[in-house]
Amino acid sequence: MEKSGRGGDGAPRGPVLHIVVVGFHHKKGCQVEFSYPPLIPGDGHDSHTLPEEWKYLPFLALPDGAHNYQEDTVFFHLPPRNGNGATVYGISCYRQIEAKALKVRQADITRETVQKSVCVLSKLPLYGLLQAKLQLITHAYFEEKDFSQISILKELYEHMNSSLGGTSLEGSQVYLGLSPRDLVLHFRHKVLILFKLILLEKKVLFYISPVNKLVGALMTVLSLFPGMIEHGLSDCSQYRPRKSMSEDAGLHESNPPADDLVSMSAPEILNTNSGTVKKIMTGNHGGDAGIKTEEPLLQAEEDSSKGQEPNDTSQYLKPPSRPSPESSESDWETLDPSVLEDPTLKEKEQAGSEQTNSFPKESVPSDSPPITVQPQANTGQVVLIPGLISGLEEDQYGMPLAIFTKGYLCLPYMALQQHHLLSDVTVRGFVAGATNILFRQQKHLSDAIVEVEEALIQIHDPELRKLLNPTTADLRFADYLVRHVTENRDDVFLDGTGWEGGDEWIRAQFAVYIHALLAATLQLDNEKILSDYGTTFVTAWKNTHNYRVWNSNKHPALAEINPNHPFQGQYSVSDMKLRFSHSVQNSERGKKIGNVMVTTSRNVVQTGKAVGQSVGGAFSSAKTAMSSWLSTFASPAPQSLTEPPDGKP
């Protein structure tokens, strides 16, 4: 009889691909102990062998530092098998139990505690829904106190595929467990800074421990982008696990596959002499993003025009081969920071910059409408398709934006063994989460570090900080969100099921914001409109891959959208107070002024007590008045960054 979770050809019919158990071995480290169906067809359920693309699975499912917590939950993304298909979404529930409590204790259990994770690999991004089901089964599996009892795991696979087989990605179940309300309460107005950082496709690293807080915050920020969770992450983990230097060299020397897509503008096609098309490769991912991801954003177009066009227009151009530091898989438990430093890195970076400068100016799209070029195998001909194709399922407004495509990664949790991806030349950017402090210490590998616990955003580049400095209209928008969320904090909206001030309401506000911003960019005389969003920010955003893809296609539905900022208006006294409050709370200078005023008030009061009670009483009243005035500007929330010289808000 055919099982409900499998088709006649053995392929899974439901969204769940595998149920996996990952354990910690005292000699071998993290390893797969059970998989159903087997990860590699033909192997047994207890095989430790992993597909090459999923070699990091054990380290993702059983996170670094897990021994410090009794239980934890991890969301992670795996690349598709054989380079085909979409992202594989992983949800893992970790627990540990005392070894003496086990009914059946295997011979290889030599430690006082046993640490294991039960993991679901799914084709659908149903993070919260799968987590809720998986937590129950993981609890039951551990309550058996006999890990050889795997029947419950097989039943879980069948049950999930039968119950979720017809599950649609539309509706609130996609956002189960992701609360923008809690995010706004914690980050306050800085939520908008995070939103704009990702729009600019910057390298953003989230940092906190344990993992469930990390992945919850990161995925909640992404849920603010319309359609992103449902349809925008299918291409977000297109990376290759690190191989040896010899294998990397062989990879770059081989010819690129014929089905890679590359965006070019129409004049670039017409100006080719031989009728063939130059194909600009960016490693494994291809795409039209500039290779020099470390260059300042506003200088990208200017620098790209300096390249020289080669004579042979059919020549394949290859990016510099810069192998990453040696793999740390053997050092799964601890890693010396010196391992991450490559002594030959500077030389290779210099060689890479020389090769990068030889790229032709056509590698950056011109202002003319771009088209997609798809070389056909063995023919030398090309098919021209109007507009850039994101490969995502879009709505009438072009949502979700093609942010996580062409080498821009979304990794809710990164294992230490994936550290090389931060400096991989085929990765043009990332939104990633980490719990290991080594990630945070390598500040040069990211544009921004988000310390979730302190609600702190560290942006290292002063120019980027200026780009993200909120406009008056943006401050009004952020203040509007914070007020509606905090005012309803103790009523029916606490569970996120209400409308105004609730989770869905917050997502709706960000949808209105991004729709209006997109509509504003289409207006002919739009300088005044765009100034409300930040002129320099919009200029930088127009140079990103996601905007160029969106702008190359028509979206008639946006004609009905009001292009004005939702909170445009004349500057008022309340705006002055809002701006001053923002400056005092978030700039280094403002913090110093506030501290000086508080210190001065304290010293004056102490002096008053020394002079006499009557005088002291007067000074005490002055202190009370001073404190009352400062309280209108002070906030319990930690500082964000606007203009501190060292990049720390």
Domain with residue 393: its CATH number is: 3.40.50
CA atoms within 13 A on the CB side of 491: 10
- At what angle are helices 472-487 and 180-187 packed, to 10 degrees? 110
Q: How far apart are the C-alpha atoms of 188 and 431, rounded to whole Å? A: 20
Res 91 pLDDT > 70: yes
Would you say residue 202 lies in a domain?
Answer: yes
Residue 613: which pLDDT band, with cuts at 50, 70 and 90? low
Is the link from the previous residue into 556 a cis peptide, with omega within 30 of 0? no
Give the least confident one: 52-61, 327-336, 633-642.
Answer: 327-336
Would you say residue 248 lies in a domain?
Answer: no
pLDDT at 596: 56
Distances (CA, A) of 49 to 46, 58, 208: 9, 11, 31
Q: For 359-370, what is each residue's pLDDT tens digit?
A: 333 333 434 444
Would you say residue 190 lies in a domain?
Answer: yes
649: nearest Cα among 590, 577, 575: 590
Give the rounded percent of residues in the chain with a pLDDT score beyond 70.
60
pLDDT at 66: 77
Res 429 pLDDT > 50: yes
Backbone region of residue 532 per phi and psi (left: phi > 0; alpha: psi in -120 to 50; beta: other values): alpha
* Same domain, yes or no: 159 and 120: yes
* Same domain, yes or no: 63 and 146: yes
Would you say residue 435 lies in a domain?
Answer: yes
Give the least confident one: 33-47, 234-248, 404-418, 510-524.
Answer: 234-248
pLDDT at 382: 39
DSSP for 94-124, please give it. EEEEEGGG-SS--TT--SSEEEEEEEEEESS
Q: How far apart are the C-alpha atoms of 335 and 342, rounded to whole Å? A: 14
Q: For 553-603, what is each residue's pLDDT tens digit?
A: 999 999 999 999 988 755 554 544 444 454 545 555 555 555 555 565 555
Is the link from the previous residue into 400 a cis peptide, with omega within 30 of 0? yes
Residue whose structure tokens are 């494994």: 284
Domain hosting residue 215, numbered range: 180-239+383-466
Contact 35, 42 (CB under 8 A): no
Q: How far apart are the C-alpha atoms of 557 and 511, rounded to whole Å? A: 14
Between 314 and 509, whose confidence is greater? 509
pLDDT at 561: 93
Res 532 pLDDT > 80: yes
Would you say residue 99 lies in a domain?
Answer: yes
| Domain end among 167, 196, 225 | 167
| Domain end among 167, 194, 210 | 167
Would you say residue 123 lies in a domain?
Answer: yes
| Domain end among 118, 136, 167 | 167
Q: How far apart are the C-alpha atoms of 412 and 64, rounded to whole Å? A: 14
Number of domains in the chain: 2
Between 81 and 617, whose confidence is greater? 81
Res 398 pLDDT > 50: yes
Res 318 pLDDT > 50: no
Contact 113, 96 (CB under 8 A): yes
Q: How far apart are the C-alpha atoms of 306 and 360, rounded to whole Å? A: 8
| N-terminal to C-terminal alpha carbon distance within the chain | 63
Helix (H) or strand (E) holding 59: helix 57-61
pLDDT at 148: 85
Distances (CA, A) of 220 to 76, 181, 195, 214: 14, 9, 11, 10
Max CA separation in the chain (angstroms): 97
pLDDT at 291: 35
pLDDT at 586: 56
Task: Enter the pTM of the model.
Answer: 0.69
Which DSSP letter does residue 6 get?
A: B
Strand ranges (E), 160-319: 204-207, 262-265
Q: For 213-252, what is each residue's pLDDT tens digit?
A: 999 999 999 999 999 999 999 999 988 887 644 444 443 4
Between 21 and 327, whose confidence is greater? 21
* Same domain, yes or no: 228 and 97: no
Between 28 and 110, whose confidence is greater? 28
Res 294 pLDDT > 80: no
Residue 325: which pLDDT band, with cuts at 50, 70 and 90? very low
* Same domain, yes or no: 92 and 129: yes
Residues 6+ apart with CB under 8 A from 233: 77, 87, 89, 125, 222, 404, 410
* Same domain, yes or no: 163 and 184: no
Res 411 pLDDT > 60: yes
Residue 376: which pLDDT band, with cuts at 50, 70 and 90? very low
pLDDT at 401: 96
* Same domain, yes or no: 77 and 149: yes
Provide the β-strand partners of residue 454.
none
Q: How far apart are the C-alpha atoms of 414 and 434, rounded to whole Å? A: 5
* Same domain, yes or no: 437 and 398: yes
pLDDT at 298: 37
Res 55 pLDDT > 90: yes
What tokens were used for 638?
């930690």
pLDDT at 648: 46
Res 402 pLDDT > 90: yes
Would you say residue 373 lies in a domain?
Answer: no
Q: How far apart are the C-alpha atoms of 352 and 426, rounded to whole Å? A: 13
> Over the Cα atoms of the chain, what is R_g?
27
* Same domain, yes or no: 22 and 69: yes
Q: For 172-204, what is each residue's pLDDT tens digit?
A: 789 999 999 999 999 999 999 999 999 999 999
What tokens were used for 476?
């009004």
* Same domain, yes or no: 112 and 224: no
pLDDT, average across residues 255-259: 39
Q: For 123-176, what is each residue's pLDDT tens digit?
A: 999 999 999 999 999 999 988 888 888 899 999 999 999 888 766 777 778 999
- Collapse the DSSP code of 319 into the 3-class scheme (helix H, G, I; strand E, B; otherwise coil) and give the result: coil
Res 552 pLDDT > 60: yes
Would you say residue 251 lies in a domain?
Answer: no
Give the least confident one: 416-420, 466-470, 618-622, 638-642.
Answer: 638-642
pLDDT at 242: 74
Distances (CA, A) of 394 to 92, 177, 399, 409, 430: 29, 24, 5, 19, 22
Helices (H), 490-633: 503-521, 527-531, 535-541, 545-551, 573-586, 588-611, 613-631
Res 620 pLDDT > 60: no
Distances (CA, A) of 316 to 276, 282, 288, 292, 437: 11, 11, 15, 18, 40
CA angle 480, 486, 489 (to 5 degrees): 140
Q: How far apart are the C-alpha atoms of 428 and 477, rounded to whole Å? A: 31
* Same domain, yes or no: 123 and 60: yes
Contact 509, 548 (CB under 8 A): no
* Same domain, yes or no: 36 and 76: yes
* Same domain, yes or no: 33 and 132: yes
pLDDT, average across residues 243-270: 42
